[in-house]
Amino acid sequence: MRKQNLSSFSGGMRQRFGIAQALLGNPRLIVVDEPTAGLDPEERVRFHNLLAEIGENVIVILSTHIVSDVSELCGQMAIIDKGRVLLTGRPLELTRTLAGRVWQTTVARTDLEAAKAAYPVISTRLLAGRTLVNVVGDERPAAGFEPVAPTLEDVYFATIAGRLDATARIPEPA
């Protein structure tokens, strides 16, 4: 394929080509920015496997907004907002810091602003014409809220919203 034009390659092939280029010269560090954006699910899995394999011998810094990439690939992570590191740690351990503290309810779209004013909302999303609201707190905010298992996305939103206590930082292993 050496004579084939790079523009004829699929997105996944271009990504692999870029990694191959980056590996020339045996670097100790590789930085990848949004490496799986635009890839279909099959290519994403292949690329995850490739990055995981490379990460066994090389430090890989992954810059992404795709939370599933972080949870599947990263042993260590940092949440950075406006150039400031807000939180660092291991994804699974950071997620555990929210265990028993994430609550969810559904509200009508017309009631969303009132919910945001009344509760420590970390995220909202539409689901079947209603709005799912996630809040963080040590106790059930009100009737109708149910506990949910926290996700790394909840960690991200709680951190960005300033609702994740700084004591949630996980110390590095000795």
What's the pLDDT at 167? 43
What residue numbers bound the domain in which 70 lies?
Answer: 6-74
Query: Tokens in use for 89?
Result: 């740690």
Domain annotation covers residue 120: yes
Strands 146-147 and 102-107: antiparallel
From residue 140, alpha-carbon distances to 122, 157, 161 in Å are: 15, 19, 19
Q: Which residues contact 169 (CB under 8 A, 6 or more apart)?
A: 87, 88, 89
More confident call, 134 vs 168 = 134
DSSP 8-state assignment for residue 129: T
The 10s digit of each residue's pLDDT in 78-131 is 999 999 999 999 999 999 999 999 999 999 988 999 999 999 999 999 988 889
Determine the 3-state secondary structure of 15 from DSSP.
helix
Q: At what angle do helices 41-54 and 11-23 cross, to 10 degrees?
A: 10
Domain annotation covers residue 82: no
What's the pLDDT at 174? 43
Domain annotation covers residue 79: no
How many structural domains are present in the chain? 2
Domain annotation covers residue 137: yes
Q: What is the CATH number of the domain that holds 66?
A: 3.40.50.300
Domain annotation covers residue 56: yes
The 10s digit of each residue's pLDDT in 30-55 is 888 887 777 788 888 888 888 888 88
Do 118 and 161 fall into the same domain? yes
What's the pLDDT at 11? 72
The answer to whether residue 169 scores a pLDDT higher than 70 is no
Do 102 and 150 fall into the same domain? yes
Do 13 and 65 fall into the same domain? yes
Do 163 and 102 fall into the same domain? yes
Query: Tokens in use for 91?
Result: 């994804």
- Least reliable range by pLDDT among 6-10, 112-116, 148-152: 6-10
Q: What are phi and psi of 63, to 5 degrees?
A: -105, 115
The 10s digit of each residue's pLDDT in 124-137 is 999 888 899 999 99
What's the pLDDT at 87? 92
> Is residue 72 annotated as part of the catalytic site, yes or no?
no
What's the pLDDT at 69? 85
Do 115 and 161 fall into the same domain? yes
What's the pLDDT at 4? 79
Determine the 3-state secondary structure of 147 from DSSP.
strand
Residue among 34, 53, 93, 146 flagged as catalytic: 34
